[in-house]
Amino acid sequence: MASAFDYAPAPESRSVVDIAPSYGLFIDGEFVDAADGKVFKTVSPSTEEVLSEVAQAGSEDVDRAVKAARKAFEKWSALPGPERAKYLFRIARIIQERSRELAVLETLDNGKPIKETRDADLPLVAAHFFYYAGWADKLEHAGFGASPKPLGVAGQVIPWNFPLLMLAWKIAPALATGNTVVLKPAETTPLSALFFADICRQAGLPRGVVNILPGYGDTGAALVAHPDVDKVAFTGSTAVGKEIARTVAGTRKKVTLELGGKGANIVFDDAPIDQAVEGIVNGIFFNQGQVCCAGSRLLVQESIQDELLDSLKRRLSTLRLGDPLDKNTDIGAINSAEQLSRITSLVEKGAAEGAEPWSPECELPSSGYWFAPTLFTNVTQAHTIARDEIFGPVLSVLTFRTPDEAVAKANNTQYGLSAGIWTEKGSRILAVANKLRAGVVWSNTFNKFDPTSPFGGYKESGFGREGGRHGLEAYLDV
C-alpha cells in the first residue's frame, strides 16, 4: 500500500492479428511469388523475432506490376468520380473496422508503441482515405482546370517510420484522381502494405489498380526507372531522394519528394512552459524520433533555459520505455539494427565534439533495438548533431537571445520541413512564422497532422505537397 503507483503491464492481445508464415507480391489482384523466387525475412524490432517471410520483387516483377497497373489504368481512369469514391470510402471503412488488427500488426513490424498506432496512425490512415474519397467526384472544382486528367501509373516508394500512414498519403490521392499504383514498402516494414492489399480485394477494387512490391532499394530503383511509370512519389532519405531526382531528370515523369528534416522548435520566454515541454517531448520522442518533421533542434530563449531544461528533464524521467504492445508504453523500439547503429554513432560524435548528453535513468530491454531518450546541451550550430538528421530519440538544445537570432538559427540548415513556435504572443507567432523557411510551422503545438492540411518541404527536404487540395496536384496533369 505504501509503495508508489507502479502500473501493472497492460499488453494488447496479439491474437487479433493473424500473420501468415509467408507472403507473396501483390500483382494484378493476386499474391504471387517473385519471378526469381527470392524472399526476405521481416523481424519485430522489439524482440528480433522473425514475423514472416516476404517475397522480394526483382526488375521482372516490377515490369509485371507496371504492366498490370497500365492495363488497369484504362478502366479505372474512365470510371466516373463518384464510382471511384465508392471504392475509396469502402477501403476507409474496412480500415476502421480492422483498425485494431492493423494497429497491432504495425506495432509488431515497426516497433512503435501501440498507443501511437492505435491513437495516431490508424485514425489518420482512415481519415486520408475518407478525405480523398470526398475529392474523387469534385476534381473539376479543385482549381486545376475544368477537367483535370490523371497522369497514369504512379510508382511510389515509402519509408518504414509510418508504413501504413505513408501508404495512405500516397495511394489515397493517386486513386481519387484516377491513377493506378505500384507501391514499394520499406524492407523492414512490408506487412501492413500486404494487409492493405488484402483490404483492396475485400473492397472489390478492380485488379491491377493497386500493386504492392516488397523489396530493398534495388526494387525501388527499378520501379523509379521503369519507362512506363508516369509519376514517381518518394518519401525517405535525402540521399535516396537525390538519386531519384537524377534518375528521372530529363524524362517525362513527374516527381514529388518528401525527404529529411532537422526541425527547429523555438521556445520564447513568454511561452506556456508546461505545454511547451509536452510539445518538445512530442516533437522529438514521438515514434522514437523517427519522424522526418521531428523537432530535433530545440531553440530556447536564454533567459528561460534553466527553467525549461529542468522541466524537460523531469518530464523525460516519466517516459515509459519498453514493450511496444503495452498500452502504457511511451517509447518503443528503434526500427532496425542498422538505424540503431546510425543513431549511436551520431550520438557518439555529438559527445566527441563537446556537446553534453543527458538521459533519464532508463533500463533497456535485453533483446531488440533500443535507444534511451537523450538530450544534448551545449550544442552550437557548428556541431554535427545540430546539422545532420539523426532520425532517433535525440534532442539538441541550442539557445538564442532575440527573435531575429532564433529565425536565423532555425533557417540555418540544409533542410526545411517543419518548425515550431511557442509563445503567448499572437503577433510574434505570425511574424516569426512568416520568416521561417519550413513547409509546416506549428504554433503552440507540434507533430499535428490532418488530411486537409498540405505537407512538404523546402530545400533538401524535398518538393511537392501531400495532403489537402494541394496533394491532388501531384497526381493530375495540370
Partner 1 sequence: MPTTASAAHPLTDVTASDSTLRRFLHGLPGVDAVGLEARAASLGTRSIKTTAKAYAIDLAISMVDLTTLEGADTPGKVRALGAKAARPDPTDRTTPATAAVCVYPDMVPVAKEAVAGSGVKVASVATAFPAGRAALDVKLADVRDAVAAGADEVDMVIDRGAFLSGRYMKVYDEIVAVREVCGTAARLKVIFETGELSTYDNIRRASWLGMLAGADFIKTSTGKVAVNATPANTLLMLEAVRDFRAQTGIQVGVKPAGGIRTSKDAIKFLVVVNETAGEDWLDNHWFRFGASSLLNDLLMQRQKLATGRYSGPDYVTVD
Q: Are 52 and 23 in contact (CB under 8 A)?
A: yes
| Cell numbers for 401 | 537571445
Do 28 and 210 form a contact (C-beta atoms < 8 A)?
Answer: no
Question: Which positions are catalytic?
Answer: 258, 292
Q: How far apart are CA 101 and CA 454, in angstroms?
A: 28
Residue 215 contacts by C-beta under 8 Å, 6 or more apart in sequence? 56, 57, 58, 184, 187
Q: Which is nearer to partner 1, 399 or 413 (CB)?
A: 399
Q: How far is the CB of 397 from partner 1 (least distance, A)?
A: 19
Residue for grid cell 520505455: 321
In the complex, least distance from residue 311 CB atom to partner 1, rounded to whole angstroms: 9
Separation in Å, CA 2 to CA 8, 156, 382: 16, 56, 50
Q: CB nearer to partner 1: give 99 or 445.
A: 445
CB 464 within 8 A of CB 235: no
In the complex, least distance from residue 448 CB atom to partner 1, rounded to whole angstroms: 10
Q: What are the grid coordinates assigned to 109, written together?
A: 513490424
| Residue among 403, 389, 160 nearest 284 (CA) | 389
| Shortest spacing between CB 12 and partner 1, in angstroms | 9
Binding interface with partner 1 (CB under 8 A): 1, 3-10, 115, 119, 270-275, 278-279, 310, 318, 327-328, 424, 444-445
Sheet bearing 30-32, strands edge to edge:
30-32, 25-27, 210-212, 180-184, 153-157, 231-235, 254-258, 462-463
- How far apart are CB 428 and partner 1 at their closest, in Å? 13
CB of 424 to partner 1, least distance (A): 4
Integer CA distances (angstroms), 37 to 53, 65, 185, 218, in order: 12, 16, 18, 16
Q: Is 219 exposed, middle or buried (0-12, 13-18, 19+ CB in 10 A)?
A: buried
